[in-house]
C-alpha cells in the first residue's frame, strides 16, 4: 500500500487516513487546537477538538513544537469555509521527534539570517515552491532537447585550461600535472560533441571566480549549452526562442499553484510566445540614444542598458551582432562586417537581464588560430579545439542558458540566491 500525501487527499474524502510530516504551525482556541501539517507535498490543517480526542492527544496537540516530526490520524473532509480545500478531523497524534526553538518563525527575516539557516529555510512554503519550479524547468530543458534529437553530452568538470582566460577560474592542485581548473563552460567540448553527434547539449554545474556581488551572480551555477552542427546565427536564434517558450509554457501548465504561492504576475509569463523581437546591436544603441542614455558605441551593453532595452518589449528580446572586440575569441565574424561578431544575447523581460549568450562559432582554422594568438591564449592548450576545424569543419552554433537566472525570472525573484538549494557566492560557501 502506497503512502498517502497531503496532495492526494482529494481522493480520500470521508476516509480515515494516517499521514506523516512536520508541524508547520499551530493555533488554538481553548477547546480546539489547529495543527498545520507539512509533508513536502502541501499543507494540511488538522483539527483537534477536546471532546473528540483523548486527554493525552489534546495535551500533545497544544505542546508540540514547530517542525517536530509527527504522525497524524483522522478523517479527511472538505473545509467548511473554503470549498476545494481539505482538512483533517483528527483523532490521533504521535510525536516522532520533538523539535524545540526552530529558528525560522512566520514573521520576516533578513537575508543573512536566512542564508545562515538555508538548510532549514528550504522547508518554508515559498522556498518549496521555488525549488519545485526549478525542478520543473530542469525537466523542461531535458525534455525539449531529448524530444528534438539532441544527445546529452557531458563535458569534464576538471579542465586543463581556460575557456576565456584564467582570471576567473577556480584552481585546484592536480597530482603531478600541476593545476586543474573547475569548468566555466562546457561549450568547447560541446563543439567536439556536435561534430560527432550533430546536435548535443551539456547540462551541469559551472564555476566562475568572478568577484561579482549582484543579484544575478553565483560562483557555482548550472548552465545548459546546446551546440548544433550546420546551424547558423539565425538557426541559433530560432532554437533559443522555441526553447524559452517551451520552458515558460511548461511551468505555466504544471506549476501554476507554486507560481501563485510566489505571487507571480502570470500575465507577464503568458506573453512569452514566439516570435521574439530580434534587434541588432546597432538598433539597440539607437534605442539607448533615443532614451538619452550616455553610451559609447563599441562598448558592451551594461545592466542598466539591458533593462532599458528589454523594457520596450513584453517578451524576451534577442540582441545580435555585437562588436567583435567585446565578445569571445571563438565567435565567427559577420561576413558583411568583420567588426561584428555573429553573437546573440537574449535579455529577459522585467529587468532580469541576460539569460542566454550564444553565437555562431568560428569554423576557419586559420582565423581561429589568429584569434587565439590575438587574445594571448596558449595555442598548445587549444590544439584539440583547432583540430575540430582541421577535420571536416562545418558552420555550427550554440548558446548557454543560465538556469538560476531563468528560475529567478520565471519566479519573479529579487535575487538568484533563492533559486538553488545551497547558493555559493563570493562571500558565502556555507552551509
Partner RNA sequence: GAUUUUGUAGCUCAACGGUAGAGCAAUGGGCUGUUAACCCGGAGGUUGAAGGUUCAACUCCUUCCAAAAUCGCCA
Site for RNA in 30-49 (CB under 7 A): 30-32, 34, 45, 47, 49
221 scored as a contact of RNA (CB under 7 A): yes
Alpha-carbon 22 to chain mean position: 27
Query: Does 84 interact with RNA (rule: CB under 7 A)?
Result: no
Cβ-based nearer residue to RNA, 210 or 254: 210
For residue 355, state whether it binds RNA (rule: CB under 7 A). Answer: yes
Q: Of 3 and 103, which has the nearer Cβ to RNA?
A: 103
Q: Which stretch binds RNA (CB under 7 A): 59-67, 285-293, 308-316, 386-394?
A: 59-67
Report if residue 336 touches RNA, rule: CB under 7 A.
no
- Does position 142 interact with RNA (CB under 7 A)? The reply is no
Residue span binding RNA (CB under 7 A) among the ranges 95-103, 122-130, 154-162, 313-321: 95-103
Residue 6 grid cell: 497531503
Residue 331 CB: number of other CB atoms within 10 A? Answer: 22
Computed on alpha carbons and rounded to an integer, the radius of gyration of the chain in Å comes to 26
Smallest separation, CB 251 to RNA (Å):
18
Tell whether residue 129 is a contact of RNA (CB under 7 A): no
Strand-pair partners of 204? 223
User: By CB under 7 A, which span of 174-182, 227-235, 266-274, 412-420 interacts with RNA?
Assistant: 412-420
The cell for 303 is 545592466
What three-state secondary structure class fits 212? coil
Contact 80, 44 (CB under 8 A): no
| Position among 39, 382, 416, 418 found at the interface with RNA (CB under 7 A) | 416
Interaction residues for RNA, span 227-256 (CB under 7 A): none
The region of 121-129, 268-276, 347-355, 360-368 touching RNA under the rule CB under 7 A is 347-355
Does position 111 interact with RNA (CB under 7 A)? The reply is: yes
278 part of the interface to RNA, by CB under 7 A: no
CA distance 217 to 149: 32
354 binds RNA (CB under 7 A): yes
Site for RNA in 8-27 (CB under 7 A): 25, 27
C-alpha cell at 186: 562546457
Cell reading at 317: 528580446
Q: Which residues of 15-30 are buried (b: 16+ CB within 10 A; e: fewer)?
A: eebebebbbbebeeee
370 near RNA (CB under 7 A): no
Residue 271 lies near RNA (rule: CB under 7 A)? no
Stretch that binds RNA, among 139-147, 228-236, 239-247, 296-304 (CB under 7 A): 296-304
Please, are residues 26 and 36 in contact by the beta-carbon 8 Å criterion? yes
User: How far is Cα 22 from Cα 94, in angstroms, rounded to an integer?
Assistant: 11
Query: Measured between alpha carbons, how far is 43 from 85 in angstroms, rounded to an integer?
Result: 10
Contacts 24+ apart (CB under 8 A), 24-28: 24/66, 24/67, 25/66, 25/106, 26/61, 26/64, 26/66, 28/62
- Which of 138, 365 has the CB closer to RNA? 138
Told to check if 400 binds RNA by CB under 7 A, we report yes
Amino acid at each position: 500500500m502506497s503512502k498517502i500525501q497531503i496532495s492526494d487527499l482529494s481522493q480520500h474524502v470521508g476516509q480515515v487516513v494516517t499521514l506523516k510530516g512536520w508541524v508547520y504551525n499551530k493555533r488554538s482556541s481553548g477547546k480546539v487546537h489547529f495543527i498545520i501539517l507539512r509533508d513536502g507535498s502541501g499543507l494540511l490543517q488538522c483539527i483537534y477538538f477536546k471532546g473528540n480526542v483523548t486527554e493525552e492527544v489534546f495535551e500533545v496537540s497544544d505542546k508540540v513544537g514547530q517542525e517536530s516530526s509527527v504522525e497524524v490520524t483522522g478523517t479527511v473532509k472538505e473545509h467548511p469555509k473554503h470549498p476545494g480545500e481539505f482538512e483533517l478531523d483528527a483523532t490521533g497524534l504521535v510525536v516522532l521527534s520533538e523539535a524545540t526553538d526552530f529558528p525560522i518563525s512566520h514573521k520576516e527575516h533578513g537575508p543573512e539570517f536566512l542564508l545562515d539557516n538555508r538548510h532549514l529555510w528550504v522547508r518554508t512554503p515559498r522556498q518549496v515552491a521555488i525549488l519545485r519550479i526549478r525542478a520543473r524547468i530542469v525537466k523542461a530543458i531535458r525534455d525539449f532537447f531529448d524530444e528534438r534529437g539532441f544527445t546529452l553530452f557531458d563535458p569534464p568538470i576538471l579542465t586543463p585550461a581556460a575557456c576565456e582566460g584564467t582570471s576567473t577560474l577556480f584552481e585546484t592542485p592536480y597530482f603531478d600535472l600541476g593545476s586543474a581548473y573547475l569548468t566555466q563552460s562546457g561549450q568547447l567540448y560541446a563543439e567536439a560533441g556536435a561534430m560527432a553527434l550533430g546536435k548535443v547539449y551539456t547540462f551541469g554545474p559551472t564555476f566562475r571566480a568572478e568577484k561579482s556581488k549582484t543579484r544575478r551572480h553565483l560562483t557555482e551555477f548550472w548552465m545548459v549549452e546546446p551546440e548544433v552542427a550546420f546551424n547558423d546565427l539565425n538557426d541559433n536564434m530560432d532554437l533559443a526562442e522555441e526553447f524559452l517558450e517551451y520552458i515558460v509554457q511548461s511551468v505555466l501548465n504544471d506549476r501554476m499553484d507554486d507560481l501563485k504561492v510566489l505571487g507571480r504576475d502570470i500575465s507577464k509569463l503568458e506573453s512569452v510566445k514566439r516570435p521574439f523581437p530580434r534587434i541588432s546591436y546597432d538598433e539597440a544603441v539607437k534605442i539607448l540614444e533615443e532614451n538619452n542614455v550616455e553610451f559609447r558605441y563599441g562598448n558592451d551593453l551594461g545592466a542598466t542598458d539591458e533593462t532599458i532595452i528589454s523594457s520596450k518589449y513584453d517578451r524576451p528580446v534577442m540582441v545580435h551582432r555585437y562588436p567583435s572586440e567585446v565578445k569571445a575569441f571563438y565567435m565567427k565574424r559577420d561576413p558583411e562586417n568583420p567588426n561584428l561578431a555573429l553573437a546573440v544575447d537574449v535579455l529577459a523581460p522585467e529587468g532580469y537581464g541576460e539569460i542566454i549568450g550564444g553565437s555562431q562559432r568560428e569554423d576557419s582554422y586559420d582565423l581561429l588560430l589568429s584569434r587565439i594568438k590575438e587574445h594571448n591564449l596558449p595555442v598548445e592548450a587549444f590544439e584539440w579545439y583547432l583540430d575540430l576545424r582541421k577535420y571536416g569543419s562545418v558552420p555550427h552554433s550554440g548558446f548557454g542558458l543560465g538556469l538560476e537566472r531563468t528560475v529567478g525570472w520565471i519566479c519573479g525573484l529579487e535575487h538568484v540566491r533563492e533559486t538553488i538549494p545551497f547558493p555559493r557566492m563570493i562571500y558565502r560557501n556555507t552551509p
